[in-house]
Amino acid sequence: MIELLNLVIIFVSTLVSLVVLGLGAGFSPTLYIAQLAVASKGKKDIPYAVALMTGVILAIVILIILFQIVQLDTLLIFIDTNVRALLVSIVFNVFIGASLIVGGFYYLNHQDPPQPKKEKKDLKKAGGIIGIAGLGFIRTFLSISGVTATYIAGNVIASVSGSIAERMVYTAIFLTATVVPFVGIVILTRTSPARLVAITDAARTLIDKLNYRLIVGALAVIFGSSIVIFNLIMALVY
């Protein structure tokens, strides 16, 4: 009974963690605005909204697969010695940590994000479906919050999964949480545009008050530094 209770607690805590991390991985005011602009144009442009979400999902899938592959347990499947596997893992993690530090300092030194252009462009002239998907991919793949949240999620999934099936289930949960806001924007645009405007205004006010770039930048520097320090200690110890 106690073992079953522990399993339930682990599953629920993992589920909540992955949902929060998924929302963080997909968080991007720029992409939310782009999704809102695309979804508000009409039913004929729904494929563009789907393309944007596809780009986001593709970026997250590549990141989470990459982060799970470089787990030491996984590397040992492909690399014949513990030392080599550990070296590959340390080098990769130090690179990720250093990238987060650089990106964090960039955010700290650039507090005002670039303002989206207000003029409406024809979606086909703006790059079409491939261009919209590319926007979602690049913005997510190079996002500090996206990389950080996906890195943590990859480690969480690897640590709690005992089989490939479990990894796939947890990964699916994480990906679903990532695109929930984008799906919500499309649905609210169709069913309750006034409510969407109110939510958008409230979110913009909250983001301005919190100064999310300052928070994300500071957290990225701290988290990136901890990754670098931990892995350098691992290198020295082993």
Rounded Cα distance, 26 and 136, in Å: 10
CA distances, 132 to each of 13, 35, 124 (Å): 35, 9, 10
Residue 193: pLDDT above 90? no
The tens digit of pLDDT for each residue in 118-145 reads: 444 555 545 678 888 999 999 999 989 8
Residue 31: pLDDT above 80? yes
Rounded Cα distance, 24 and 152, in Å: 11
If one counts every other C-beta atom within 10 angstroms of the C-beta of residue 70, the result is 20
Q: Which two tokens mark 186?
A: 């499309």
Band the pLDDT of 111: cuts 50, 70, 90. Answer: low
The tens digit of pLDDT for each residue in 196-221 reads: 778 777 777 777 777 777 888 899 99
CB 92 within 8 Å of CB 70: yes
Q: What is the DSSP string of 43-75?
A: GGGHHHHHHHHHHHHHHHHHHHHHHHHTSHHHH
Average model confidence (pLDDT) for the chain? 84
The tens digit of pLDDT for each residue in 52-80 reads: 999 999 999 999 988 888 887 777 777 77
Rounded Cα distance, 201 and 205, in Å: 6
Could you tell me what percent of the chain has a pLDDT over 90? 34
Q: Which two tokens mark 185?
A: 């924007």
Q: Taking residues 21-29, what's their average pLDDT?
A: 90
Q: What are phi and psi of 70, to 5 degrees?
A: -85, 5
Q: Taking residues 24-37, what's their average pLDDT?
A: 86
Band the pLDDT of 40: cuts 50, 70, 90. Answer: confident
Rounded Cα distance, 98 and 9, in Å: 34
Tell me the pTM: 0.83
